[in-house]
Amino acid sequence: MTEPLLSVENLQTHFRTPDGVNRAVDGITFHVNAGETVAIVGESGCGKSVTSMSILRLIPEPPGKIAGAIKFEGRDLLKLSDKEMRKIRGNSISMIFQEPMTSLNPVLTVGRQIGETLRLHQGMSASDAEKKAIEMLELVGIPEPGRRVKEYPHQLSGGMRQRVMIAIALACNPKLLIADEPTTALDVTIQAQILDLMRDLKRRVGAAIVLITHDLGVVAEVAERVIVMYAGRKVEEAPVGKLFANPRHPYTRGLLGSVPKLGSSLTGHEERLAEIPGLVPSLKKKIDGCVFAGRCAEATDLCRAVAPALETKGPEHVAACHYALKEAAAA
């Protein structure tokens, strides 16, 4: 079996605060194979974005502290110097950040911002970098790239700014692309265009993608494998089809139950959207049992006292739930 492109082992990212230690990511393990699209899903505050920032070592230390192992092409990124990490960021591993308006520099043209990556990592001259920037804007479907390359972020629409972010991320042909909520601030039509673009670019460039999202519709469209996070921990992982058809963890079932069903009002069987009661536990308190026990209708004293281990519940399907096997047998 070939070695994964990215292997994250027991990743812990904690932040020291005046109120105690915030365990934003608390022992997550996963891998991404070359050319594969893996989605990390969960509600806001579950640790998805902190996981992605930890991979690129963009967490300020202090107050942050990253522990565990993050191996990319066999090298542990946590053991590299800052200079070695700068060579990897934007070159071998790129990231599309959540909000393009705050991620792009408002006083530099989009061509200059794309070219900056090319000059830094590939040693291009300013004129060659501008030519490549025009090519990249054309690649991501921006009309009149020769004119747009000289424009500033505020002159572009939200969808175009997101395309510029993708162009910057792909400029150096990375092997791994991390997309943090790439469609959150966009309307539905533009979301669909961006997802089509990412699928098309993946075919052309061959990059592996880690997609950070809370939108299960996006997951169903793009990903091959899904990791479900809750309160800083991985609670389930499975191929997309298996997860949607037979979710084993109560939290995953809750997430899927809260997705609106298209056409339900036309059939006359309108159902209320399911909601997950309660609140996410404080990450500043150590939780001995299952992190989801406080909101789970099926929780028992065992769940509240003993944290369930991630166990295989089916082919390529793992979940951290004491009672998942019983549910699977009954299904």
Domain boundaries, the chain: 103-173
What pLDDT does 41 receive? 92
Query: In the predicted model, is pLDDT for residue 193 greater than 80?
Result: no
Lookup: tokens for 247? 């979710």
Lookup: tokens for 190? 């533009």
Question: Kind of pairing, strands 176-180 and 208-213?
Answer: parallel
What pLDDT does 261 receive? 66
State the Cα–Cα distance between residues 288 and 76, nearest whole angstrom: 30
In contact, 5 and 25? CB cutoff 8 Å: no
What pLDDT does 196 receive? 80
Question: pLDDT for 207-221, tens place per residue?
Answer: 899 999 888 888 888
pLDDT tier for residue 331 given thresholds of 50, 70 and 90:
very low
Question: pLDDT for 156-179, tens place per residue?
Answer: 887 888 888 888 888 888 889 898
What pLDDT does 185 receive? 64
HEC per residue, the chain: CCCCCEEEEEEEEEEEECCEEEEEEEEEEEEECCCCEEEEECCCCCCHHHHHHHHCCCCCCCCEEEEEEEEECCEEHHHCCHHHHHHHECCCEEEECCCHHHHCCCCCCHHHHHHHHHHHHHCCCHHHHHHHHHHHHHHCCCCCHHHHCCCCHHHCCHHHHHHHHHHHHHCCCCCEEEEECCCCCCCHHHHHHHHHHHHHHHHHHCCEEEEEECCHHHHHHHCCEEEEEECCEEEEEEEHHHHHHCCCCHHHHHHHHCCCCCCCCCCCCCCCCCCCCCCCCCCCCCCCCCCCHHHCCCCCHHHHHCCCCCEEEECCEEECCCCHHHHHHHC
Query: In the predicted model, is pLDDT for residue 317 greater than 60?
Result: yes
* Amino acid in position 37: T
Q: What average pLDDT does the segment 275-294 reach?
A: 84
Among the listed ranges 36-40, 181-185, 321-325, which one has the minimum average pLDDT value?
Answer: 181-185
Predicted TM-score of the model (pTM): 0.86
φ, ψ of residue 192 in degrees (nearest 5):
-60, -40
The segment with the largest mean pLDDT, out of 247-261, 265-279, 296-310, is 296-310
Query: In the predicted model, is pLDDT for residue 329 greater than 50?
Result: no
pLDDT tier for residue 1 given thresholds of 50, 70 and 90:
low
State the Cα–Cα distance between residues 280 and 173, nearest whole angstrom: 38
State the Cα–Cα distance between residues 327 and 252, nearest whole angstrom: 13
Q: Which of the two residues, 206 and 50, has the higher pLDDT score? A: 50
With a CB cutoff of 8 Å and minimum separation 6, the contacts of 30 are 8, 38, 40, 227, 234, 237
Going by C-alpha positions, the residue among 96, 104, 100, 218 that lies closest to residue 158 is: 100
Question: pLDDT for 205-260, tens place per residue?
Answer: 788 999 998 888 888 888 899 999 998 899 999 999 999 988 999 999 888 887 76
* Amino acid in position 110: V
Give the dihedral sign, CA 280/48/101/186: negative
Question: pLDDT for 93-107, tens place per residue?
Answer: 988 887 766 778 889
pLDDT tier for residue 31 given thresholds of 50, 70 and 90:
very high
C-alpha count within 13 angstroms, C-beta hemisphere, residue 91: 13
Question: pLDDT for 259-268, tens place per residue?
Answer: 766 655 555 5
In contact, 10 and 68? CB cutoff 8 Å: yes
